[in-house]
């Protein structure tokens, strides 16, 4: 289910200029085309994270890029770890049966 | 409830002892300034923000409480009301927020980044295989479907045709309208949606068709309905009359003594059926008098006795 730019701005409580800046910074990478981007619920949640970082945690713009990159890497690692554990369980199961 | 130091011991609180006093939650004095409150909140939020603590359920719960407390105490108006006991600590609950971490673990997640394991993969086949599969899942993520609306003329919908649709990126999309398409039907144009990521397939274009009404044709299922005016002469004496059909006019024989409301069927002149064949065109006759009064007709009717004895309203007696 994709979300239009208009709906995204409303739901993420962003103005047009801010969204443009965030996309330019690659903090947000929507699908679709440049003129007709298609957002997802994950983009809305990511925008909420960026907002929290800027306003609630007073992280400056340079810091946000670093944090997002680390958060993405952390999720990548968590996922890889989960895949690895599943793979190991399966192999153990094969050996057992 | 027992009072506790709200510093670093907070995270260790057992569930049944969740603090509800916003001052205690933020670990500040009742007299704390707004600046102190903000500082204290930031300190806690940095530690507890769910997106900086994926997989930690307790952090999320505590972050919500701390945020609620901060919402309350950072608003001087609400804080004063709370201090006077006019609202409780939940008086300023935040709207439900879905955290980024809830999405970030999905397999085709667009922002996923497993580069942190690449050095491991170089020396380990199992790691290499897992990373390869992950990369494939992301690379194969298809593009989004795009939705369009297209208004189609009645006859194009019945007979089929090709139409052009302007798309947002400035190009045009050629849409083949299959014969017999109905109003509100959706055409799926494979691969004409948003481009996929990497080598992923593009999405589809979904075109919802609106059929414009026609001046005199209407459609019911596979049948075309049309009301055909005929002259009094044609109705009484019968004869060949031209009838419009979606594929052009055809000649139709009106039988002798055909009345208004009589329905004649033109087999196979209706809408193309999906499984093959066509519906019919149903022609409903409507007897029309000439536009100007006619003395000859009037004098004939004045002396026409049989006509006077017929009562077309006999079924309407109460």
Q: What's the domain count of chain B?
A: 3
pLDDT digits 0-9 by tens, B81-96? 888 777 776 654 445 5
Cross-chain Cβ contact A42/B144 below 8 Å: no
> B116 to chain A nearest CA, in Å?
6
Partner B, chain A 44-83, Cβ-Cβ below 8 Å: 44-46, 48-49, 52, 56-58, 67-69, 71-80, 82-83
Which residue carries 């809305």 as its tokens?
A: A44
Transcribe B91-126 into DSSP letters: TTPPPP---THHHHTSTT-TT---GGGHHHHHT-HH
For residue B226, what is the domain's CATH number? 2.60.260.20
Is the domain of B256 the same as that of B309? yes
Residues from chain A contacting residue B52 (CB–CB below 8 Å): 67, 71
Residue B101: partners with Cβ closer than 8 Å, 6 or more residues away: A75, B50, B51, B54, B55
CB B189 within 8 A of CB B131: no
Give the C-alpha separation, B70 to B164, whole Å: 55
Residues from chain B contacting residue A36 (CB–CB below 8 Å): 146, 168-169, 194
Per-residue pLDDT, B8: 44
Domain of B164 in residue numbering reads as 146-211
Q: How many helices (H) and strands (E) does chain A have?
A: 4, 2
Which residue carries 């701390």 as its tokens?
A: B66
Interface ipTM: 0.71
Among the partner-chain residues B100, B116, B197, the one whose CB lies closest to the CB of A45 is: B100
Domain boundaries of chain A, sorted by first residue: 5-96
> Does residue B70 carry a pLDDT above 60?
yes
Among the partner-chain residues A32, A71, A80, the one whose CB lies closest to the CB of B130 is: A80
Per-residue pLDDT, B250: 94
Provide the sign of the torsion angle of the four alpha carbons B54, B60, B66, B69, taken in this order: positive
Is the domain of B118 the same as that of B165? no
Residue B127: partners with Cβ closer than 8 Å, 6 or more residues away: A80, A84, B117, B120, B121
For residue B112, what are the CA distances in angstroms to A76, B37, B105? Answer: 5, 35, 8
Is the domain of B56 the same as that of B134? yes
Is the domain of B130 the same as that of B201? no
> Does residue B283 carry a pLDDT above 90?
yes
User: How many Cβ atoms sit within 10 Å of the Cβ of residue B272?
Assistant: 17
Tell me the pairing of strands B223-231 and B281-288.
Answer: parallel
Which of B155, B179, B211 is at the close of a domain?
B211
Q: CB-based contact (8 Å) between A36 and chain B? A: yes
The overall average pLDDT reported for chain B is 82
User: How many Cβ atoms sit within 10 Å of the Cβ of residue B304?
Assistant: 10
Is the domain of B21 the same as that of B109? yes
Cross-chain Cβ contact A46/B100 below 8 Å: yes
List phi, psi (to 5°) of B96. Answer: -55, 125
Task: Specify whether domain A5-96 bears CATH 1.10.3720.10.
Answer: no
Q: CB-based contact (8 Å) between A89 and chain B? A: no
Is the domain of B74 the same as that of B188? no
List phi, psi (to 5°) of B226. Answer: -145, 145
pLDDT band of residue B107 (cuts 50, 70, 90) is low
Q: What is the pTM of this model?
A: 0.47
Is the domain of B107 the same as that of B60? yes
Cross-chain Cβ contact A71/B104 below 8 Å: yes
> Does residue B10 carry a pLDDT above 60?
no
Which of B192, B211, B230 is at the close of a domain?
B211
Q: Is B208 helix (H, G, I), strand (E, B) or coil?
A: strand
For residue B58, what is the domain's CATH number? 1.10.287.110
Per-residue pLDDT, B13: 43
Q: CB-based contact (8 Å) between A2 and chain B? A: yes
> Does residue B56 carry a pLDDT above 50?
yes
Helical (H) or strand (E) element with B221: none
Is the domain of B234 the same as that of B295? yes
Give the C-alpha separation, B114 to B283, whole Å: 69
Per-residue pLDDT, B24: 86
Cross-chain Cβ contact B114/A79 below 8 Å: yes
Q: CB-based contact (8 Å) between A86 and chain B? A: no
Angle, alpha carbons B128-B132-B136 (nearest 5°) = 175
Give the C-alpha separation, A38 to B194, whole Å: 9
Is the domain of B6 the same as that of B126? yes
Angle, alpha carbons B226-B228-B233 (nearest 5°) = 165
Mean pLDDT of B237-251: 94
Which of B89, B119, B139 is at the close of a domain?
B139
Cross-chain Cβ contact B111/A46 below 8 Å: yes
Is the domain of B21 the same as that of B124? yes
Per-residue pLDDT, B17: 44
Is the domain of B240 the same as that of B129? no
Residues of chain A scoring pLDDT < 50? none
Partner B, chain A 3-22, Cβ-Cβ below 8 Å: none
> Does residue B11 carry a pLDDT above 50?
no
């Amino acid at each position: 289910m994709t979300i239009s730019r208009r709906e995204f701005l409303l739901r993420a409580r962003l103005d047009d200029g801010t969204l443009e800046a965030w996309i330019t910074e690659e903090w947000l990478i929507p699908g679709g085309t440049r003129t007709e981007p298609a957002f997802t619920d994950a983009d809305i949640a990511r925008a909420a994270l960026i907002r929290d970082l800027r306003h609630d945690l007073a992280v400056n713009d340079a810091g946000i890029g670093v944090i997002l990159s680390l958060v993405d890497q952390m999720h990548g690692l968590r996922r890889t770890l989960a895949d690895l554990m599943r793979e190991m369980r399966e192999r153990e199961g094969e050996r057992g049966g | 409830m027992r009072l506790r130091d709200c510093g670093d011991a907070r995270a260790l609180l057992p569930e049944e002892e969740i603090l509800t006093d916003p001052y205690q939650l933020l670990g500040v004095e009742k007299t704390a300034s707004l600046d102190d409150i903000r500082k204290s909140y930031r300190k806690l939020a940095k530690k507890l923000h769910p997106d900086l603590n994926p997989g930690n359920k307790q952090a999320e719960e505590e972050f919500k409480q701390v945020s609620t407390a901060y919402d309350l105490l950072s608003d001087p108006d609400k804080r004063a009301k709370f201090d006077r006991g006019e609202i409780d600590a939940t008086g300023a609950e935040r709207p439900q927020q879905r955290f980024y971490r809830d999405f970030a673990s999905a397999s085709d997640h667009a922002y996923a980044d497993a580069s942190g394991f690449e050095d491991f993969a170089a020396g380990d086949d199992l790691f290499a295989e897992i990373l390869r599969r992950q990369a494939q899942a992301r690379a194969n993520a298809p593009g989004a479907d795009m939705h369009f609306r297209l208004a189609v003329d009645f006859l194009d919908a019945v007979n089929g045709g090709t139409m052009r649709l302007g798309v947002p990126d400035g190009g045009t999309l050629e849409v083949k309208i299959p014969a017999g398409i109905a109003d509100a039907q959706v055409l799926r144009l494979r691969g004409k949606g948003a481009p996929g990521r990497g080598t992923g397939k593009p999405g589809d274009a979904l075109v919802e068709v609106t059929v414009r009404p026609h001046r005199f044709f209407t459609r019911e299922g596979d049948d075309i309905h049309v009301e055909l005016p005929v002259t009094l002469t044609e109705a009484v004496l019968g004869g060949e009359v031209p009838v419009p059909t979606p594929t052009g006019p055809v000649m139709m024989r009106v039988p002798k003594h055909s009345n208004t409301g009589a329905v004649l069927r033109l087999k196979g002149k209706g809408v193309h059926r999906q499984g093959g064949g066509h519906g019919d065109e149903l022609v409903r006759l409507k007897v029309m008098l000439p536009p100007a009064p006619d003395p000859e007709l009037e004098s004939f009717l004045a002396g026409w006795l049989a006509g006077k004895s017929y009562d077309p309203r006999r079924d309407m007696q109460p």
